[in-house]
Structure 1
């Protein structure tokens, strides 16, 4: 169930741009480091850019073929300088991922804010452990390190919990701005289903942090 935007992972399915994990008060640390939720509900989370060694570890973890295909595709994009593919781990177990696109996939967004970067395909499992919050912080750190002034994220209206999280972390909706998230759901048997999901778009000004 993964192609352009992954909607699956070893966990519950959901929108590729919807954060499905962090709704607690986790302490957030930079990409490549570690963070532990303050309430002790989860063990240490390590987040960093995908590496060839990580791809091998994902294969050993027994991840489904669509998940492996997604990470290989995103790693290739990272090698071309198009994105940063972030992985979250607890020890050797993958518990989340997200992509920082170095250019918005939505033409109207890029036209309005040249140079904006965008969080995409954010997923975490199990939910409620702070993994999504740490992934978002790592994406923002990667954006700042590249001198980016703004970061955006799309969210479906049917996912108010994700929107509340984003707003708590400083993302703000833009009046009148809606995007259509087009993606392809791909199953292990080769079945492909094209989707076009209306989404709200939220933006965060990284210069104010």
Structure 2
């Protein structure tokens, strides 16, 4: 068996159409890439809030319906704005534009409710996410600490603490 040198490797571009739709409870088993079992239980609770109209929870899906990016818009956090949260993209597909598709769809949902501002918090330890949001027109306006429980490998819960840069975007344009 012989291997080709790296410079002889073929590069091909593959274009896959995606669709953005509401995330459903049936999608959750396919979203294990987004976090622990504890996280998915929390997402399931958010889907109940979506049924009540308090949030939208979106999925960017492949042609066979598999979610490759998910995230929510909470309309209860700040009056007059939709707050984007729990945004995530399947790690193998990060930097392929799916995050931008997800954020754009979330902004469309916010506009559809007659709101003209989107807000989010970008972890200061995640400069790639902040750079994406800035490219999409978000502007920093402050910072605040945030924390949530995460499941360790042994199944125990620990508190994750972080500092977030608060960002917003005017959607009236």
Name the TM-score, length of structure 1 as normaliser: 0.67
Offset at 1:141? Answer: 0.3
CA-based RMSD of the aligned residues comes to 2.2
Please give the alpha-carbon distance, in whole angstroms, between the structure 2 residues aligned to 1:139 and 1:194: 28
Aligned match of 2:111 in 131, 144, 159?
144
Aligned match of 1:78 in 17, 37, 50?
50
Q: Which structure is higher in helix share?
A: 2
Please give the alpha-carbon distance, in whole angstroms, between the structure 2 residues aligned to 1:128 and 1:204: 21
Please give the alpha-carbon distance, in whole angstroms, between the structure 2 residues aligned to 1:120 and 1:57: 18
Q: Count residues with an aligned counterpart.
A: 156
Offset at 1:188? Answer: 7.0
Please give the alpha-carbon distance, in whole angstroms, between the structure 2 residues aligned to 1:199 and 1:62: 24
Offset at 1:80? Answer: 2.3
Name the TM-score, length of structure 2 as normaliser: 0.80
Asked if the contact 1:98/1:119 (under 8 Å) is kept, the reply is yes
Aligned match of 1:155 in 114, 122, 128?
122
Asked if the contact 2:57/2:71 (under 8 Å) is kept, the reply is yes
User: Counterpart in 1 of 2:70?
Assistant: 97
Change (3 A) 1:62 1:172: closer
Please give the alpha-carbon distance, in whole angstroms, between the structure 2 residues aligned to 1:74 and 1:158: 25
Offset at 1:89? Answer: 1.0
Change (3 A) 1:68 1:199: closer
Please give the alpha-carbon distance, in whole angstroms, between the structure 2 residues aligned to 1:173 and 1:198: 13
Change (3 A) 1:62 1:89: closer
The structure with the largest alpha-carbon Rg is 2
Structure 2 runs not aligned, ≥5 long: 1-11
Larger relative contact order, structure 1 or 2 (CA cutoff 8 Å, min sep 6): 1
